[in-house]
Structure 1
């Protein structure tokens, strides 16, 4: 069994063939999907997916990329949704910080407000972190969360990886690990503890080596698993088993 720990099946690009996309994934032994929201407008879509299938697990959060769409109303809507749907979601996310985007101060404020909610509701967090691993780790430590979470699309150094692990987080590994040019990341992957990472696609984004220019799909988490197995001199079966167990532990998914 494989779990795609981060895919956006609620996005409109999947509206016409979502059932077929899920079926292709299941055919590749990907049997569970974690779908994080990005805006308050997407909360309802994520919750609808969760209610439609026992294979789908949802997270609610406000992504830094859509900062202009959130505001105070976004945070209020998130708090209300977390309160009303506590038994239906498994994490707060996707939240975080992206150094490529503008309004850094506003991004940090949004991130820290969501970390406070995660602590209040005792939820793990799914963290978007781009070119800010050290500062994000510092703020996660200061937040004193009751649970850890997942660092989505990790692309940092060995030292940064170890710091996130010490804070109770695991690293989300996706399409980037399939590229031979990602030597630093692939070196980190080879040395991680077996319970220190999970697999993801970030569908429809983050295309894998050989699939550039195509819509990404959860079925390709199997290719990510094969790349990780090769880097770690392991087997697909072992990587599938350990990463699925880690997702279940971090997000407290039912067996």
Structure 2
């Protein structure tokens, strides 16, 4: 069994026939999906998918790429939503497994860096208040991300989504209890630095993801990525690490389930 730890399943094309896309994924062994939100505008959508489909879980957060759409009131709304969800979590009836997608994206033209830092800091505090892991997005802001992680270390851990950095950067994250999200990047031979880094990290530090419909797999450029293509990431990970697909699937699935509190 595999868990796609990062899939925007409420986006197109999945919203046209989610049951079929989920069946396609389950047919190849991708049994469960984690759906990170991008903002208050799609919290209801990811929650509805999780309530409809047994293998779907979700996270609530404010994605930095859409920071122009976020307001301080959204932080208050997030707190209220997670407070309500904590009652379900106490009865093991919640499918909200993390705060996210949250982070820093300084690659955006005219990015309001101070606003992004303030929003991320608030989300770290909320995640710690409700003892939830975080799903992190970071572009062109790694030093700032590490600084904030050190100041507000997530008590329930987290995952750095779409990692494409160096071994020293990965080590800094692991030292702070943050796992590494491995996706389509490693399927491209030119991504040599990332492939070498992922090969050298402890297997227990890794989560598999598609970021569908984004982050296409090599050979499928120009097409929306899909959760069933997680098996291509698994296959490439086995090749670059020299380990069996079965062992990688076993360990990574357990790591993902443990981080997010997903029942096995």
Q: What is the TM-score with the length of structure 1 in the denominator?
A: 0.97
Per-residue deviation, 1:156: 1.0
Q: Distance in 1 between matches of 2:65 and 2:177?
A: 25
Structure 2 partner of 1:61? 61
Q: Distance in 2 between matches of 1:115 and 1:172?
A: 19
Structure 1 partner of 2:213? 204
Structure 1 residue 91 and structure 2 residue 85: aligned? no
Q: What is the TM-score with the length of structure 2 in the denominator?
A: 0.94
Structure 2 partner of 1:236? 245
For 1:101-250, list aligned pairs within 5 A: 101=108, 102-250=111-259
Per-residue deviation, 1:145: 2.5
Instruction: For structure 1, list consecutive stretches of 5 or more residues without a partner in the other structure.
Output: none
Tell me whether 166-175 or 78-87 shows the greater mean CA deviation. Answer: 78-87
Tell me whether 67-76 or 87-96 shows the greater mean CA deviation. Answer: 67-76
Per-residue deviation, 1:79: 1.1
Per-residue deviation, 1:90: 0.6
| Aligned partner of residue 195 in structure 1, secondary structure | helix
| Aligned partner of residue 222 in structure 2, secondary structure | coil
Contact 1:133/1:156 (<8 A) preserved: no
Instruction: For structure 2, list consecutive stretches of 5 or more residues without a partner in the other structure.
Output: none
Structure 2 partner of 1:8? 8
Tell me whether 184-193 or 133-142 shows the greater mean CA deviation. Answer: 133-142
Q: Distance in 2 between matches of 1:44 and 1:204?
A: 19
| Aligned partner of residue 79 in structure 2, secondary structure | helix
For 1:3-42, list aligned pairs within 5 A: 3-42=3-42
After superposition, what is the alpha-carbon deviation per residue over 1:2-36, rounded to whole angstroms, capped at 9, x for unaligned?
11000011124311121111111111100010001
Per-residue deviation, 1:73: 2.0
Per-residue deviation, 1:105: 1.2
Per-residue deviation, 1:52: 0.9
Q: Distance in 2 between matches of 1:50 and 1:179?
A: 32
| Aligned partner of residue 16 in structure 2, secondary structure | coil
Contact 1:134/1:160 (<8 A) preserved: no
Q: Distance in 2 between matches of 1:83 and 1:11?
A: 26
